Structure 1
Amino acid sequence: MNWKRAKTLFIFVFILVNLSLVIIYIDKVNKSHINDSEDENAVNFKQEEIKIPDNLPSVKDLKMQLLTARSYDFSSFAKTHSEVSSEDSGATAKRDISSPVDVSNDQYTDLKSYVKDNVYKGKDYEMSNINNDKVTFEQTYNEYPIMNNNKARLEFSINGDGKATSYKQTAMKSIAPSDGANNDKKQVNSARSAIEALYYNRYLKRNDEVTNARLGYYTVVKEPNVQVLEANWEIKVKHADKIKTYYVEAVSDSPKIIAE
């Protein structure tokens, strides 16, 4: 055996191992500094006397991108479904329910079953708002709602007996990632970072309360038949006795905020 060569090889391996350990150590230190910096920059909402939900939605490893969608024309659908009529040049479907659906149960199971079994692409809609005379559903894409959009909505009229008697529906079709070289999927910012963006832009003030935060798609470009949908956080804030809704871009380092 060539001991001189073996000794040289041993020294070389030893140096490589030590270099690897140094690189791992530096990486851990850098990550620690980043985390410390994030903690230092985080808003202390309790100290600011601003209430936020204890359990915010998790977006770990979630990436989203711009979408393009077109309005669905119900004209042909109405011709093949005698109980359905179309309005607004086909953009809206309307139906009177011959056997009104009970909406008095806590989970609205009867109405949800009706939507699933009787409404055009009913599985793609989720309940979003309830009041005494109306129940609203929103169309979804990949299980995320298309928020605050009258082109992707299902509304039931409720009578005095707590039963759904009719509905109107709009829908989006051909929903797909927008064309363009800069439309790669991007990591979604956390709900807390969206709330902090509201704070830094002075939409959140002392004694305010964030009542809800949900992730979905919000329309940023509206044309007669085509829309561009962007991932947004919908944040509801209670200012004194009034609730206001804000939309915060979910994949931007400097998010744009829209107040409704």
Structure 2
Amino acid sequence: MNWKHTKTLFIFVFILVNISLIIIYIDKVNKSHINDSADENAVNFKQEKIEIPDNLPTVKNIKMQLLTARSNDFSSYAKSRSHVTSEDSGQKIKGDINNPIDVSNDQYTDLKSYVKDSVYKGKNYEMSKIDDDHVTFEQTYNNFPIMNNSKAKLEFNINDDGKASSYRQTAMKTIAPSEGANNDKKQVNTARSAIEALYYNRYLKRNDEVTNIRLGYYTVVKEPNVQVLEANWEVKVKHANEFKTYYVEAISDSPKIIEE
């Protein structure tokens, strides 16, 4: 055996192992510094006496971009169905339900089935609001709601007997990414960062409570037939005895905030 070559080989392997250990150590230190920096910049909501939900929505690998959409014309659809009539120059329909649907159960199972099976593109709507007189659904795009938009809404009227006997519907069509050189998909900011943006801009103050937060599309340009939809966080806040809704841009480094 050539001990000289063996010795050289051992020294070479030893150097490689040490280099690997140094690289691993430096990587851990850098990650530690990044985490420490993030923790230092984070708002301590508990200390500020601001309540936020325990389980915030995750946005891992979620990317979004500006969309353009047009109002749907229901004129032809209404003419081919006896229980449906068009309104607002065809941009809205009113539908009568022959066998009123009982919505007294907590899960609204029958109403959801009716929407899925009997309403125009009902699979693209999700329930968003329930009160004594109405149950509201919102149109979705890629499973995200088009929020607070009268042009993408399905609303059922609830009678005194707890049954839904009619509905009114609007819809958007040809929803697609807006044209433009700067409209690439971008990673969505976290839900916590949206809440922190409200705090830093003084919309969220001591003793306030964030009651709900969800991700979707909000209309930033409204024309009679065309709208531009932007990824936003919808944040509902309780200020003492007053409730407010805020929309926070979800893919901007300096998010704009709209108060409804």
Counterpart in 1 of 2:24? 24
SS of equivalent residue, structure 1 residue 81:
coil
Q: CA RMSD in A?
A: 1.9
Give the Cα separation in 1 of the matches to 2:76 and 2:9.
78
SS of equivalent residue, structure 1 residue 115:
helix
Counterpart in 1 of 2:104? 104
Give the Cα separation in 1 of the matches to 2:116 and 2:124.
8
Give the AA of the match of 2:249: E
Counterpart in 1 of 2:146? 146
Matched residues, number? 260
Q: Deviations over 1:9-34 (max 9, x none)?
A: 88777656544543333232222111
Give the AA of the match of 2:61: D
Cα 1:14–1:250, aligned 2, differ >3 Å: closer, same or farther?
Answer: same
Give the Cα separation in 1 of the matches to 2:223 and 2:10.
69
Give the AA of the match of 1:237: V
Give the AA of the match of 1:95: G
TM-score between the two structures when normalised by the length of structure 1: 0.93
SS of equivalent residue, structure 2 residue 212:
strand
Cα 1:174–1:17, aligned 2, differ >3 Å: closer, same or farther?
Answer: farther
Give the AA of the match of 1:67: L
SS of equivalent residue, structure 1 residue 113:
helix
For residues 56-71 of structure 1, the aligned pairs below 5 Å read 56-71=56-71
Give the Cα separation in 1 of the matches to 2:109 and 2:158.
15
Q: Does 1:179 align with 2:202?
A: no
Give the Cα separation in 1 of the matches to 2:229 and 2:177.
9
Counterpart in 2 of 1:252? 252
Q: Deviations over 1:204-240 (max 9, x none)?
A: 1111110000111111111221111111110000001
Q: Does 1:192 align with 2:192?
A: yes
Cα 1:2–1:182, aligned 2, differ >3 Å: closer, same or farther?
Answer: farther
How far the C-alpha of 1:70 sits from its partner, in A, is: 1.1
Unaligned runs of 5+ in 2: none
Give the Cα separation in 1 of the matches to 2:102 and 2:62.
37
Unaligned runs of 5+ in 1: none
For residues 1-260 of structure 1, the aligned pairs below 5 Å read 18-260=18-260
TM-score between the two structures when normalised by the length of structure 2: 0.93
Cα 1:9–1:191, aligned 2, differ >3 Å: closer, same or farther?
Answer: same
Cα 1:3–1:186, aligned 2, differ >3 Å: closer, same or farther?
Answer: farther
Which region of structure 1 is more displaced relative to structure 2, 177-186 or 106-115?
Answer: 177-186
Give the AA of the match of 1:200: Y
Give the AA of the match of 1:209: E
How far the C-alpha of 1:3 sits from its partner, in A, is: 9.4
